[in-house]
Structure 1
Amino acid sequence: MAKRNFSRESRLLTPESFNSVFKDPIKAGSPSITVLAKANGLGFPRLGLIVPKKALKKAVWRNRIKRVVRENFRNAQDKLCPLDFVVIAKGPAQNMSNRDLDEILAKLWNVIYRRYKKLQVRLSDPTK
């Protein structure tokens, strides 16, 4: 069984790490969550979270969103590509159940995966 933890090495910690993802990312989004991703060359995925106070006023809402996203990432990280992910929460996320958030994140991870694979094919075959 794969080791499923959310250690320090699995997180985006520095502004430089976040900024690198913001430059030409692979994007997937929903009305409540946006996911940006970029290849990291490390061989394992990393996660960064942006949960703005302006969109989610109460700390309880922000903390719940962060907890659900971290848990979802922790359980899915062995299936994810070696990318740096930045998850940006939006206002509608506060009214969603944890199950709904999990379902949306699973769909967004799959969208990112398909777009990443398509990009790899395009980069490896210059005729496309």
Structure 2
Amino acid sequence: MIKLTFPRELRLLTPASFSYIFQDPFRSGSPFVTILARQNQLGFPRLGFAIAKKQLKRAHERNRIKRVVREYFRLHQTELPTMDYVVMARTAVMDLDNKQIIAQLDKLWHRIKRNAAPLAPKH
């Protein structure tokens, strides 16, 4: 049985982890959300957030987006390529309800999955 949890090792926590992704990311974006991804050698995907106060002024707005993305990631982590992901949100995301946000995430992560195979290191 597969455990669909979101433990600490699935989170991007250090500035070095974020810097690694920002150096040379694969981008998948929409007018609402952008996902940056970069291959990792850990054997499992990891998730981080870079949601600016400039984009989403209120903490409860940022927290709602993070909650929805974390839940999506938790439920789909076994289907995702072994990459590190940073999710960034834009102001327009506040006009969407949770189901619409999930639909956007589905589209973006599907695009990443489709394009991840050519990015995988060749031995």
Deviation at 1:118, TM superposition (A): 2.6
Structure 1 residues 82-93: aligned runs within 5 Å: 82-93=82-93
Aligned match of 1:67: 67
Aligned match of 1:98: 98
Aligned match of 1:4: 4
Q: Which runs of 5+ in 2 are unaligned?
A: none
Aligned match of 1:58: 58
Aligned match of 2:15: 15
Instruction: Name the CA distance, whole Å, in 2 between partners of 1:114 and 1:84.
Output: 16
Contact 2:11/2:46 (8 A) holds in 1: yes
Deviation at 1:114, TM superposition (A): 1.3
Deviation digits for residues 17-42 of structure 1 (CA, Å, limit 9, x no counterpart): 00001111111000010000011100
Q: Which runs of 5+ in 1 are unaligned?
A: none
The SS at the match of 2:55 is coil
Equivalent residue pairs, number: 123
Deviation at 1:119, TM superposition (A): 2.7
Instruction: Name the CA distance, whole Å, in 1 between partners of 2:109 and 2:75.
Output: 12
TM-score by length of 2: 0.95
Greater C-alpha radius of gyration: 1
Instruction: Name the CA distance, whole Å, in 1 between partners of 2:89 and 2:53.
Output: 10
Aligned match of 2:43: 43
Amino acid at match of 1:30: S
Aligned match of 1:113: 113
